A and B are shown apart, each in its own frame.
Chain A
Amino acid sequence: MINEKQFEKYNHIPQEKFTLVSNREIHDLKLDTKPVGYFKDAFRRFCKNKGSVVAAFIIIFLLLFAVVGPFVSKYDVAFNDLNLSYYLPKSKTFSFLGWDGYSKKVVSKTDYIILKAIEMETGENVIKKVYDSYDTESQQGPYIYHNTYYTVYLNSYTKSLMKYVQLTGEQYAALQKYQDDNELQIIYPIVSYAFDEGSLYKNDANVWYQIIDIPANPDPTKPIKPADRLNKGMPVGFTNTDSAEAALTGLQNAYIPYSGNDGYTSIMRVEENGEKQYDYARKVSGGNYLVRLNYNLYHDFLYGHGEPSFLFGSDKFGKDLFVCLSSGARFSLFFAICIAAINLFIGAIYGAIEGYYGGVADMAMERFSDILGNVPFMVVVTLFKLHIADKVGTVVTLLFAFVLTGWIGMASTTRMQFYRYKNQEYVLAARTLGASDRRIMFKHIFPNALGTLITSSVLVIPGVIFSESSLSYLGIINLSTGSTTSVGTLMATARGSLSTYPHAILFPAIFIALLMITFNLFGNGLRDAFNPSLRGSED
């Protein structure tokens, strides 16, 4: 039994009195590297996965494209010009790859002659190459109709180069002055078809030569001779059996002879020998002038930033797709990220409670999400549009509509993950050690579920853009107002011209495909990175 005093003696034994029994040298040094936290480790493991790193860079590139795009392009989102619709993508740097605004097209003999005639009149290149041609014959009662079809490499910027434009007196004078200063022939002599009420070529400024024309609604008293119909659109003096080359040699112009009141004072004239032969404009009501002009040069005269050229081509309204896609991407990404975040937040919490507590709570909450989930989304959107669209604007309405039923998907994923991990051994162990429900949920189960949650929430982003596109295709929503547009709307609009002008859908589709691929790889990378069970295992 040690009494007080003895205890006192043994209480302060100096350390030097102790010596190690074994004589081995112990080399473990104090760890001087910083401890590797959960997130630092996750980042390290993320960088190891090559695929997701590449994906991360692509995502950054896409975000940059969305932010910087509008400042790079010479057009803004609001720009539109119906005369410039459906021009193909053209880029100076990659033109050798076929990104040159040309496309392979099959044209009939009449169109081939029109296109060649533009080259003759303006000297611009319209047909770069003729691949091949084939002849056809068809029976029209007693008559045989011959035609030839050419496969050509066609320049979309000059295939309908000439346009009719109406100018006021000052604009007409200014254009003539610009024309003289730069020695450019922009205005060409006016053609008689412009005023022939019935003519099918009334609105087409490219036909400058005399043709056999069947008016749209001909005068019933003058019956159409069968020969006329068979030769519709052929140059005067030629029939459908003659070859295009022959017809092209003998074109006679249909310019209106000089009348003296076309107000044309510019020195640039088509006639070589100087004396005035043709009228270059026609007076219209209110002192305005109808002129026939080279629209690309006129575009340069109007905006001053050179002839029209669209990197991603132009759409039906003549808007520049590059700038629309980038500003649309900016809007769609922002919109989708908000929705994904809100859905993740609500869904995770709802799913966690539901999955963890189970029993009555799970049953009730599951039923509630069943009811809400089964309410037809379309009716909800229509109702929102009707009642709150004018108060709060279509964008926020759509946000409500997506979020109202969006979180249920996340909730059920979380619930399933919780069911999976709830009875795992380590959770049971934590519970026996007396951890509170909240701690178990957010310290133990949640990190495990985090991997799948992040993957699915990251995938929500392209998913939202997709459903936005199908909704605008069905005509239920339309996110683009005058100055903003969204990727979904671009794709819905491009759907109408899928078979005639596929370029309109090409770039938005590439953008979404890239988005989908990169977000998925990025999501996989994130999941592996954040998966605590993988910590330290190097595959």
Chain B
Amino acid sequence: MKKLFKKFSVIALLLAAVVVTVGCGDKKTKYTVTYYDVDDVNTVVGTETVVEGNKPTGLISNFVLESEMFKDAAMTEAWGNDVVTANVSIYGEFTSKDGYTYQSSFNLSPKTFNPFQYESATDSVPLDYTTLGLYGYSYNADKTGFELKPVMAAADPVDVTTEYAKDDSYGIEGETSGYAFRIALNRHATWENGEVINADDYIYSLKALLDPKFQNHRASDYYAGSTAIFGAKDFFYSGQTTYLSAVEVVGGTQEGYEGLYFDASNVTAFANLMGGTDLTKLANYKGYFSDGETNYYEQLCQYAGDKRVPMNEELFTIWKNIMTKGPLSAYWVWADNEMPYFSVAKTTFPEYPWEKVGLKKIDEWTVDIIYTTQLAGFYKKYSIGLPLVNETLYENCKQYNEETKVWSSTYGSSVETYLGYGPYKMTKYIVDQLMVFERNENWFGYSEAFADEYGKFVAEFDGQVHEQYQTDRITLRFVQEISTREQMFLAGKLDGFGMTREYYEKYRSSIRLYSATGASTFYGILLSDYTSLVEREAVLNGVTYDSATYDSVKKQYNKTILTIKEFRQALCYAIDRKTLVTNLYPGGSSATSLYSDLILADPDAGKAFNKYTATKEAICEFWGVEYGEGKEFKTLDEAYAAISGFDLASAKKLVDVAVDKAIEQGLMTSSTIVKIDYCAASDSENEQLWYNTFNNCLTELFKGTKLDGKFEYVYNPNLGDDYGDDIQNGLADTAWGFGWQGSALDPYSLFQVYVDAGSGESDVYQYDKWINRNTKNYEVTLNIDLGDGVKEHTYTAYTWWEIVNGIYTAPEGQTSYDASYAKQIAGVISGDTRATILAACELAVLRDYTHIPMMNEGSVSLLSYKVNYGSETYMFGMGFGGLRYITYNYTDGQWADYVASQPGGNLSY
């Protein structure tokens, strides 16, 4: 029996050795340089792994190679011109480098830190330390706010719109300002390895980012939204093949069906009839897709998205039967040449030359950028930016897969495949374990020329003058468990500790506690569209909906009460946000409107949107709080402060009003049971928690009302990954905890998600898509100054959104409103006027009670005794000052001694 063991343990070791040696055979071999102290030749001071062909840096964890005495004789020829070609030993004198190290952690393995492909917050950690924008945030003089100063640029952007507005080659003919800018580049800027960064680098980088062969994820940052560069989208799409709706490609009519494909997720015929082009999402209308005998809905839905098929005879006859014999025949007069409405066509975008793209090199240190939307005031420097990658390195990181004919790049996946140009450089990257950044000596900020900008500053915590960028080294360890992070923090191995609610209770009154409110707001979506609700109600009652015969009054269950505004308003008033937020989301706060207090309506003046009187009035009206003589509260501010987002008394009254209205409209009887779903993307502990809280609140709400005992709230967490589409297509009665991570400094462009239910190829973001806010009953009349004196203007909420973002093009023949006039607005209109427009439009959206504000996110964290933040106030864009303004109370050596001196060797907070 002993023989057996010996045999098998040998095999086990063999197997391990084989696999491990295979692991090390990657392309370039790595050598170890071992450092010995010249006074004590047999103690190893440290080792350093150096890739073949590079010079050793002499930087080991806590020591610096002061002077290199001699190398061991055998290695001389290998040493060649100071480049490592074999394992080398170096003897020298070392001084302990007791500098400042900031110890941090990350808990998600980064996907990539390629600036063209990064997605998550962890991906961008390396980019935050090693790259800089053309313009960057820094504190203003008296540190009450921030301002944007040139960093990689040398000066503020110069408006050269007139130069490119002479003809229509850049689509801005006749414009006068805000479209084209000349950027002078910072001549001192270099890569980590000292190579100069000039205009050619920026030109190359944008071209590489937009290269159609790569389909880079971040490309849309430069061709979509308010910072779209002219021609960037066409260049990005040139030569790409994709499937668009055949109507756009071939036109409305075409004999037969050659070249057409059937894709169930893109059928334009039913866009306005059933409110959607994706058949797979129109399960409610399943009954329509039959020709009287057989129902083809399931069969048609197989060919969706990637599984599309060329149009054939069988499909043609199916559509013909459906449209001529089935229920749809009542809405559509069939003609044989209308197949484009039921199919998609393969289209290849035309080739687009790089020269026509809106990025021009003027000379070695100047570039011009031409945008498609007008940038004004603060947003000029805020939005202007360009990608930057190192050309030589990026070129040899390219990879091509013959099979799939797809290009990809390993740029930004290891120390060797990445070059930065910021205050720190990456010196070590071990996948899923460790990242180390050290000071980048070649950074222009450390040179004398920039001493005033990056030199001294006055720290808030002690009012003394300190050096900026005191940190010498940043180490980030991969720690997934929060309990391990807490132990490392108390053992002095981490300098920051982000906390969940359980830990917040423990360290709540520590003086090192810092809490920051987040910018984004999470709200609930209530379905108010009658057709979707009545469909779901029919299914609930076990009947297939048929508009002619269905009579909801005699049904046992009801959902259509959600179409009554008062009912939705009651749900909004009945949720106890305070208890949910205070007990579960420390640092967060309950939300009473669509924008959090951190959102700035006028970044130049640093004034928050919720501070404007117009906003306060809108929110008071939304919550039904009156002020003035004889009312509950005397002044607006008093009323606004009294809003708690929880008004059970009014909610109960509203329920009875809603029930009466529903009975009156023949939607239900006094004995019908209201049964609606709590819908969620996936099932999780937090989802459970939210459901429990809402269920408690709603049962409390209906006590003593006409729905007492006649209400059920069903838990249905099966929406899956495309929950966004399901909500938009009316498949979710109530859905809570959704929001958009919009930009906190541009609430105006973010407003698109509330008003733009439009179609076209751009993505549709509006959750309550069934409400078109470009119609008569969403008109808002404002008495404001649009640049031509205070006059009364009446537009729909959608149009106001276009105006306030300066993209409004008045229809022909609209004499009272001149098209060019609208364009000036972005540059001329004052921050206050824009805020007033936004506040009025926000009320128009809130009044539907389909968006129910819930919560503003927040975070709480501890800072170790070793370091101090630059400022005590959390500001958007600056946080608490970031690494630039962090100062140190202890060096690394002193910190180790201090921690060891604590009772039990661990810190207490």
Contact = CB atoms under 8 A, between A and B. Distances in A.
Interface stretch (B356-364, B461-469, B807-815): B461-469
Contacts of A166: 576, 578, 644, 646, 648
Contacts of A204: 508
Interface in B539-578: 573, 576, 578
Interface string A344-369: 00000000000000000000000000
Best-buried of B463, B584, B649 by chain A (most CB within 10 Å):
B649
Contact of A224 (B460, B632, B639): B460
Interface in B425-445: none
Contact of A218 (B506, B511, B873): B873
A89 to B, nearest CB: 17
A143 B459 CA distance: 14
Interface in B622-670: 623-625, 632, 639, 641-644, 646-650
A80 interface: yes
Contact of A233 (B505, B509, B578): B509
B830 interface: no
B644 A478 contact: no
B684 interface: yes
Interface stretch (B226-234, B692-700, B791-799): B692-700
A220 B624 contact: no
Nearest to B692: A80
A203 B889 CA distance: 32
Nearest to A205: B582
Nearest to A204: B508
Interface in B850-909: 865, 868, 872-875, 887, 889-890, 898, 902-903, 908-909
Nearest to A228: B872
A19 interface: no
Contacts, number: 171
Given A140-B865, A224-B872, A283 B483 contact: no
B649 A169 contact: yes
Given A140-B865, A394-B683, A288 B576 contact: no
A141 B868 contact: yes
Interface stretch (A51-59, A305-313, A495-503, A530-538): A495-503
B780 interface: no
Contacts of B502: 86, 316, 496-497, 500-501
B820 interface: no
A284 interface: yes
Given A139-B889, A478-B684, A482-B695, A230 B460 contact: no
A224 B695 CA distance: 43
B872 A285 contact: no
Contacts of A197: 641
Contact of B462 (A85, A140, A286): A140
A193 to B, nearest CB: 13
Nearest to A385: B718
A114 B509 CA distance: 10
A499 B487 CA distance: 10
Interface in A470-515: 475, 477-478, 480-482, 492-493, 496-501
Interface in A91-133: 106, 108, 110-111, 114
Contacts of A285: 623-625, 632, 639, 642-644, 647
Contacts of B505: 86, 500
A229 interface: yes
A220 B459 contact: no
Contact of B460 (A223, A287, A290): A223
A286 B506 contact: no
B331 to A, nearest CB: 30
A162 to B, nearest CB: 13
Contacts of A283: 632, 642
B646 to A, nearest CB: 6
B873 A226 contact: no
Contact of A478 (B145, B632, B641, B685): B685
Interface residues of B, number: 78
A475 to B, nearest CB: 6
B649 A288 contact: yes
Contacts of A497: 502
Contacts of A475: 682, 684
B647 A108 contact: no
A43 interface: no
Contacts of B515: 200, 216
A51 B580 CA distance: 50
Interface string A70-81: 000000000010
Contacts of B639: 285
B625 to A, nearest CB: 4
Contacts of B720: 386
A286 B872 contact: no
Nearest to A200: B515
B2 to A, nearest CB: 24
Contacts of A287: 632, 649-650
A108 B145 CA distance: 34
A185 interface: no
Given A145-B511, A226-B462, A317-B692, A140 B868 contact: yes
A82 B580 contact: yes
B500 interface: yes
Interface string A369-406: 00000000000000000100110001000000000000
Interface in B363-391: none
A432 interface: no
A493 B887 CA distance: 39
A164 interface: yes
A147 B683 contact: no
Contacts of A111: 508-509
Contacts of B718: 389-390
B688 interface: yes
Given A80-B696, A82-B580, A217-B517, A482 B503 contact: no
B392 interface: no
A164 B582 CA distance: 10
B496 to A, nearest CB: 16
A106 B873 contact: no
A83 interface: yes
A179 B415 CA distance: 69
B872 A141 contact: no
Contacts of A232: 509, 511
A259 interface: no
Best-buried of A106, A197, A284 by chain B (most CB within 10 Å):
A284
B503 to A, nearest CB: 6
A282 to B, nearest CB: 8
A133 to B, nearest CB: 10
Contacts of A141: 459, 461-462, 464, 868, 887, 889
B44 interface: no
B257 interface: no
B396 interface: no
Nearest to A287: B649
A184 to B, nearest CB: 23
B908 A288 contact: no
A290 B583 contact: no
Nearest to B718: A390
Given A111-B509, A141-B461, A166-B576, A82 B715 contact: no
Contacts of B908: 106, 108, 136, 147, 149
Given A286-B648, A492-B685, 15 more contacts: A85-B583, A138-B865, A142-B462, A145-B865, A149-B908, A200-B513, A203-B582, A214-B872, A283-B642, A284-B642, A284-B647, A286-B650, A316-B689, A317-B692, A496-B502
9 contacts: A86-B502, A111-B508, A140-B865, A216-B587, A220-B144, A223-B460, A317-B692, A481-B715, A498-B483
Interface of A: 80, 82-83, 85-86, 106, 108, 110-111, 114, 134, 136, 138-143, 145, 147, 149, 164, 166, 168-169, 195, 197, 200, 203-204, 214, 216-218, 220-221, 223-224, 226, 229-230, 232-233, 283-288, 290, 316-317, 386, 389-390, 394, 475, 477-478, 480-482, 492-493, 496-501
